[in-house]
Chain A
Amino acid sequence: MSEQADKLELTPDSFKRVGANDTDAQEKISAPSLTFFQDAIRRLKQNKAAIISFWLLAIIILISIVSIWWTPSDPNAQHVAYANLPPKIGNGIPGFTGQANVGGQLVDKYAQANVPKGTYYILGTDYLGRDLFSRLMKGIALSLLIGMLATLFDLMIGVPYGIISGWRGGHTDTIMQRIIEIISSIPNLVVVILMLLLFTPGLGSIVVAMGITGWITMARLIRAETLTLKTQEYVLAARTIGESPFKIATKHLIPNLSSTIIIQTMFSIPTAIFFEAFLSFIGIGIPAPNASLGTLLSDGQKTFRFLPYQMWYPAAAISIIMIAFNLLADGLRDAFDPKTNN
């Protein structure tokens, strides 16, 4: 070591000023500064499962939007002559040949039903000869719509309720929390079923029935967050300069509550979709002839042993949607609150 040092020749040219005295350069932050949301999105992007789920959901939502204007054929049109046709694509690729196993023999159902040559149903037809692919498209759209509307209901009741309860405190808070306690001890299924018996079943009544019980969790979370936010200095500052409570809520509280709101929203959409499917399954959901994932599943289940394809695709669709929403929600929660994980 020392031998090497001896051999080393150092001239003034060997050194370069790094500008240690240049305070401006020192203070400069090399990476762009990130807002809270940008930071969360950066963390979310590292979560592969969440990103895949996000794109899957984006595609599914796109398909649902398309289904508003276009489906391969009318989802509610009946062709009884073409009932229960198995799936077929083009002239038949494996799994979609249009053939069915009848008594141990493969039979071309399309030829039997005298379906014209160019006509085929990608996912087959149901017992009334309705095109299942079109019905599935419409069904996914309706289920997503119900999920989102029910969640909107949650937001509209839960967020103001939670903020008022947490902000006012005292007797107001006690009374509001008692009300929540009593509502939450009634099984929400019972409330939903009673509401649906009272109103005629349909999109509106399902959404209202789920909204009535769904906001409780949101309100509780928002209240707890508001209680901590209330003591923050910037809220105190806003109060000191005489800002109205409404302005404080919209300008200071809601932006800071947004991560809680987003995460809870992502969890309540799949819950609502599940509930709709469940209600349709027991026969008090979306009325016929409209399709939702629940009605498709319950129709499919009736003939599942003999015509399994009628159940496969709706079952796969609801499973994929639920898994994707849950994974994305998990990812968002970890991204917004890195402390909870690990």
Chain B
Amino acid sequence: MGKYILKRVGYMILTLFIIATATFFLMKLMPGSPYANQAKMTTEQINIMNHQYGLDKPTFQQYLIYLGGLLHGDLGTSFQFNNQPVSYLIASRIGPSMQIGLQAIILGTLLGILLGAIAAIRKNSWVDTVATFFAIIGRSIPNFVFAVLLQFFLAFKLHLFPIALWEGFTSSILPTIALAMAPLATTARFMRTEMVDVLNSDYIELARAKGNTPWQTVAKHALRNSLIPVVTIIGPMAVDLMVGSMVVENIFSIPGIGDQFVKSITTNDYSTIMGLTMLYSTMLVVVILIVDILYGLIDPRIRLSGSEGSQS
């Protein structure tokens, strides 16, 4: 197991290095200038600005400086947002994004597990139909459509929640619901399939034969075994959440990193785009690593075949 984790961490660092290199050179190829109104600036001013941001050095040297900075957690300086360091920009904005993201994934997975389990136990009943319906709606309708609908009905028409901005917990409720729909649908669907499989297995038959009540059978035996594979979908769900958070934060005017990313793209703020790209990639790679290790820890069978499988 230790060797397996070490190998995975090695790949992770290699991946991040490739991403850093790719983003750096892509950004160098990018058309457009980082300065808001270059046409009005004199050549001298442009030279001074280039010197200040280190843009006058050869590209390869800039690349080495960038990589060195990354190791210290220095992501450069934003060209647009008051010359703040990108790392500061991220640190000041990551709070709301993390809060909404975590709330959404907790709410989504818990409700999804519940819905999926009930649907599997009461297979082909009306509960099952309702759960399937929810799963399809949640999977099909884009989260920004959900976000706008929630904003219109619950905030604008019924005044139950704040329409936008970030003023404490109540502001986080609507974005959380909008983002939780997709994880809910995915988990419910996955959970139902797993649970149906598990309920048909021999050890459930045995648990019943021993005289357990249906409730005991489900809680002690079925639920646990169905939950193991559900762990694997947390990785992809986290990615979807990151994508979703960009528009949802934008719609609800939440000062988070998703909103920042969209703003940086529209203003050509290279260093912020690069910094946020690195941040998103790192989070994704780390989440996938943690999920894989967790999976190995929970289910010893996977550990063996998993480490061999990654060789082939």
List residues of A whose CB falls within 8 A of some B CB: 173-174, 177, 181-182, 185-187, 189-190, 193-194, 197-198, 270, 274, 277-278, 281-284, 297, 301, 304-305, 308, 311, 315, 318-319, 322-323, 325-327, 330, 342
Contact = CB atoms under 8 A, between A and B. Distances in A.
B294 to A, nearest CB: 17
Interface stretch (B97-105, B221-229, B239-247): B239-247
Contacts of A305: 152, 156
Given A186-B15, A282-B250, A315-B148, A327 B136 contact: yes
Given A198-B31, A326-B139, A326-B140, 12 more contacts: A186-B19, A189-B239, A189-B242, A189-B243, A190-B281, A197-B273, A278-B142, A304-B151, A315-B149, A318-B141, A318-B145, A342-B196
Contacts of A325: 140
B130 interface: no
A297 to B, nearest CB: 7
Contacts of B262: 282-283
Interface string B134-155: 0011011110110011011000
Contacts of A174: 312
B119 interface: no
B80 interface: no
Contacts, number: 104
Given A187-B281, A326-B140, A182 B18 contact: yes
Contacts of B196: 342
Nearest to B144: A281
23 contacts: A177-B312, A182-B14, A185-B15, A185-B281, A185-B285, A185-B288, A186-B19, A186-B22, A189-B239, A190-B277, A194-B26, A270-B140, A278-B144, A281-B247, A282-B265, A283-B265, A283-B266, A301-B144, A301-B251, A304-B151, A315-B148, A319-B140, A319-B142
A328 to B, nearest CB: 11
Interface centre among A182, A187, A323 (most CB of B within 10 A): A187
B39 interface: no
Contacts of A189: 239, 242-243, 280
Contacts of A193: 265, 273
A311 B284 contact: no
Contact of B142 (A173, A282, A308, A318): A318
Contacts of B137: 323
Interface size of B as a range? 35 or more
A304 B242 contact: no
Contacts of B11: 181
Contacts of B312: 173-174, 177
B280 A277 contact: no
A322 B148 contact: no
A182 B277 CA distance: 15
B145 A297 contact: yes
B122 to A, nearest CB: 15
Contacts of A301: 144, 148, 251
A321 B23 CA distance: 34
Interface in B19-47: 19, 22-23, 26, 29-31
Contacts of B151: 304
Contacts of A322: 140-142
Contact of B246 (A182, A282, A297, A315): A282
A214 B265 CA distance: 22
A187 B280 contact: yes
Contacts of B141: 318-319, 322-323
A181 B243 CA distance: 20
B243 to A, nearest CB: 5
B14 A282 contact: no
Given A278-B144, A326-B140, A186 B281 contact: yes
Contacts of A327: 136
A283 B246 CA distance: 12
Nearest to B250: A282
A194 B23 contact: yes
A194 B20 CA distance: 12
Interface centre among B142, B145, B152, B242 (most CB of A within 10 A): B142
Interface in B249-295: 250-251, 262, 265-266, 273, 277, 280-281, 284-285, 288
